[in-house]
Structure 1
């Protein structure tokens, strides 16, 4: 959940055809990364995240729609290891050819650690949908304090030999074209309530806040304590990586900042305080600020205080909780303003003190017809209410574009055009 890592990607040497294909893609990415506009974007993104400009930035993350834009059937790699890097390179090229938002494209190519955090000793039970990308039902397995006592703290597991093999293979094939870097954990995520809901059941969670509050506190405390121990272990063994450039940040946005790493960074030993942290509690959308504070924030703030800058929120509307979050969350820099938040209330509270990370509703890309004027009107209305803020406009959670690849580029074009018109 928190590491740029996976145990499922087996390092395999590239065959001649795969190697040649990857090198051709890498050359194209290197050409794109050398364009002057990339440096202009880096300057803008850095000033934005450092709260030094009110100029809006526009980002689009296709996410689920990538399968329509670059179908798996179009990949040429013959192994999962090859296709992992082929996908990354093709996506960067696609951004330059089509999307053209404010994300800089850089020469770094990240190789993920062979690592993971273990779970909590209890196997989740789910009922899966039969439809493609359908929903999932979680069958409750925690109902009492006795069940919580069966939970185990998570552990860090890293296969160092596999990690080195991955790096060596990619470095040999592409290191003379791109800046190949091994990357471990590059942000800290703390999402205890959403995870616990998968163990106890959503309805049960809401009842238990009244009927069994100590059970919830015990479980969330164990989870947060375990994650704190894990990230501290990663710091101790040197498995952290800097992330103050083009890494995806929190629930949207980029990580560019001159405020990280800390001034006393020695250039080698990355610490938690040199990184971004993140927490969210989407399940608490309709929970009161007081209960949100008691059951989530009081625990999560212990995790977030380890990090140099923090982001909070994802899909949950936060307009009636901002004051509470400000009181508790250390080093807060970015707040997610979801499609269901009151844009004007958020603008009045955030002003230019935080990044206003607005996520317009992606349904505008998923309907039977794409309506450009509706896009224009919604973004113009947003800008009229956020002139005194530090806004980023982020299209994400795009599960489909109805196989119409023109929609995301057109959305970006309109968004940037409106931002230029409105200043």
Structure 2
């Protein structure tokens, strides 16, 4: 092992601190609450905070990493980030009582690289403005999209696991991750390969080109999904999907207790964000046939992200194995809840823009959360709040902590 004694000590000290938290009784209590929500018998709404402006949070060095080896530095960072979130805004997060070591899996993607121009507003941020160069211009260009291939470097996976067992011996159990979790959003991919405005024009001018592109990407994804099944590398022990905790009686009854690394036993997530600006009938024609083919392969589906869906829930609910649906700030929570039904989870996305203002209106944040809670309650809807896509907090991370405290106060009033 090339790790220095110093690096091993750093990892061991972090693991000790992590396990002190991960073995607290509250972890099992939170799992029970998540399972109640996910089976449609919510005890109270649940809260998650994720997708953070990490460069703005490290004001006191809590996220500084010191391990030199790149792979083990990534493990160090994951441990530090989990502990940071637990200290500052734990809300309803759950820490597994073991350290997860990833598998060495190579995913080819779609065989075509995104060509884009990038504009930075903050040189330290990975949140950037992007303009995509069109690469799919006609039916012949669909040949650029290749079948997704998955390769598992088993010897490397085994080496990492053996090293982890040595490093964390007597401190923390280690588990090899199940592997991959699939993103089924073919229209997000096409947005990058064609440009959003170009797609809007083609919906009218060249719909068959778009159907051809969506179909080709779907076939590529299916090839990857099925190859991952052959290799047994679907991640059946990961406890989140699209930032939402996914403990369920059927698939993940407790930490690490997956049902096997195959697509039928795991979650995947889909979305078609650019369709916020088109009619529901476009979603039905251009999204549902393709997401349906993909969703059939999985145990459960989380659908939606930042797009508006309150005006097309009847269409979205046609997706097979659907379990959770995103209610973004663009959706009316009352309309959404009225049309949601009692067997799915309304996954509310509170607006992160409140935290990006010159000064934060915490009263407005509380009012917004309470209105969504009221909408869910009067319609007997299962509800979770996921604060995500936080681009900036103006280098004031305590804003997130204050948001977390307000959110927990609100849900505990349920």
TM-score (normalizing by structure 1)? 0.90
Corresponding residue of 1:45: 34
Q: CA deviation at 1:352?
A: 2.0
**Aligned residue among 2, 21, 25 for 2:10:** 21
**Aligned residue among 78, 87, 97 for 1:88:** 78
The reply on whether 1:367 has 2:361 as its aligned counterpart is no
User: Quick check: 1:58–1:393 contact (8 Å CA) kept in 2?
Assistant: yes
**Aligned residue among 297, 300, 304 for 1:306:** 297
Closer, same or farther: CA 267–200 of 1 in aligned 2, 3 Å: closer
Q: Equivalences for 1:256-271 in 2 at 5 Å?
A: 256-260=247-251, 269-271=260-262
Q: Secondary structure at the match of 1:77?
A: coil
The reply on whether 1:164 has 2:152 as its aligned counterpart is no
User: Quick check: 1:220–1:299 contact (8 Å CA) kept in 2?
Assistant: yes
Q: CA deviation at 1:100?
A: 2.3
**Aligned residue among 17, 36, 60 for 2:25:** 36
Cα distance in structure 2, aligned partners of 1:117 and 1:400: 31
Closer, same or farther: CA 123–94 of 1 in aligned 2, 3 Å: closer
Corresponding residue of 2:54: 66
Which consecutive segments of 4 or more residues in structure 1 shift more than 4 A?
Answer: 266-269
**Aligned residue among 368, 385, 388 for 1:393:** 385
Closer, same or farther: CA 261–371 of 1 in aligned 2, 3 Å: closer
Corresponding residue of 2:278: 287
Cα distance in structure 1, aligned partners of 2:9 and 2:84: 19
Q: Secondary structure at the match of 1:74?
A: coil
**Aligned residue among 192, 195, 199 for 1:201:** 195
Closer, same or farther: CA 233–114 of 1 in aligned 2, 3 Å: same
Cα distance in structure 2, aligned partners of 1:363 and 1:130: 18
Q: Secondary structure at the match of 2:132?
A: strand
User: Quick check: 1:69–1:403 contact (8 Å CA) kept in 2?
Assistant: yes
Q: Equivalences for 1:303-342 in 2 at 5 Å?
A: 303-326=294-317, 328-342=318-332
Q: CA deviation at 1:192?
A: 0.7
Cα distance in structure 1, aligned partners of 2:267 and 2:291: 14
Closer, same or farther: CA 390–269 of 1 in aligned 2, 3 Å: closer
Q: CA deviation at 1:345?
A: 0.4
Q: Secondary structure at the match of 1:239?
A: coil
RMSD: 2.1
Q: Secondary structure at the match of 1:356?
A: strand
User: Quick check: 1:359–1:393 contact (8 Å CA) kept in 2?
Assistant: yes
Cα distance in structure 2, aligned partners of 1:54 and 1:212: 49
Q: Secondary structure at the match of 1:216?
A: helix
Q: Secondary structure at the match of 2:128?
A: coil
The reply on whether 1:346 has 2:336 as its aligned counterpart is yes
Cα distance in structure 2, aligned partners of 1:186 and 1:81: 17
More divergent stretch after superposition (378-387 vs 176-185):
176-185
User: Quick check: 1:305–1:330 contact (8 Å CA) kept in 2?
Assistant: yes
Cα distance in structure 1, aligned partners of 2:31 and 2:12: 25
TM-score (normalizing by structure 2)? 0.92
Q: Secondary structure at the match of 1:136?
A: strand
Closer, same or farther: CA 411–269 of 1 in aligned 2, 3 Å: closer
Cα distance in structure 2, aligned partners of 1:267 and 1:55: 25
User: Quick check: 1:25–1:90 contact (8 Å CA) kept in 2?
Assistant: yes
Corresponding residue of 1:126: 116
User: Quick check: 1:261–1:273 contact (8 Å CA) kept in 2?
Assistant: no
The number of residues matched between the two structures is: 403
User: Quick check: 2:120–2:128 contact (8 Å CA) kept in 1?
Assistant: yes
